[in-house]
Structure formats: C-alpha cells, structure tokens
Amino acid sequence: MKMIETKEDTPLLEQISFHTKVGESLNEVDGNIDTINSRYKYYHKYYSKLRKNEGKVKKLQLLALLKEGRLVLVKDVVQDNYCPLCQQEKSKVVLIAELNKREKPVEYHI
C-alpha cells in the first residue's frame, strides 16, 4: 500500500490563516457595531451641549489645572516652598490646602 504524500503549501496556509483572522475580526466588529454607535451618539449629544456652554468648558479646564497642580505638589516634583505656576514663595501645605478648597466638582449634567 502506497502512503499518500502531501506537500505543504506554506504561502497558501498563511493566506488562509490571514483571511480567517480578518473574517473573525469583521464578525467581532459587526457584533459590536450597535454598541459602538449608541455610545458615539451619547458622546456626541453631550459633547455638543457642552461646547455650547463655554463657561463649563473653562471650568473643566481650570479644574484640570488645579488637579495637576495639586499632584505636582503632593508628589514633591517641586522641592522648595513656592508655587510652581507663579513662582511666588509659599508653603506647600498651604498651597495644597488652597487647591483642595478650590477644586469644586463641575456640574456635568447639561
């Protein structure tokens, strides 16, 4: 009895594997497209409303600055007792307390 010999066609196998992976990825995207679309609509709705309210955008930017300033002080990025923003001499403890006091949550409901 003669054994059946097979000659592997490596490029063909790699191409089949690639197409299988592409197909699986497309199926995954297809399965998640409704979720992606609804999340984008939610994001766009609130982003558009926020853009119309310039005051809230400015408050959010200021809040980000205050939080980053507090982190710089807490993590001892600045070793001396001075404000890293205005360069005036001031106790880090006092600066941190003032920043904590100014960090008021911004109303996100639009």
The pLDDT value given to residue 47: 87
Residue 5 maps to a domain = no
Task: Examine the pLDDT at 107 and tell me if it is beyond 60.
Answer: no
The pLDDT value given to residue 76: 87
Q: Both 62 and 23 in a single domain? A: no
Residue pair 68/103 in contact by the 8 Å Cβ criterion: no
Q: Both 58 and 110 in a single domain? A: yes
Name the pTM for this structure: 0.49
Domain of residue 47: give its range.
11-52
The pLDDT value given to residue 105: 62
Q: Both 105 and 87 in a single domain? A: yes
Q: For residues 17-39, give the mean pLDDT.
A: 91
Q: Both 32 and 63 in a single domain? A: no
The pLDDT value given to residue 29: 86
Provide the number of structural domains found in the chain: 2
pLDDT tens digits for range 36-79: 999 999 999 988 988 888 888 888 888 899 899 889 888 988 88
Residue 3 maps to a domain = no
The size of the chain, in residues, is 110
Question: Tokens representing 108?
Answer: 């996100």
Q: Both 17 and 43 in a single domain? A: yes
pLDDT tens digits for range 6-20: 667 788 889 999 999
The Cα–Cα gap between 13 and 18 comes to 9
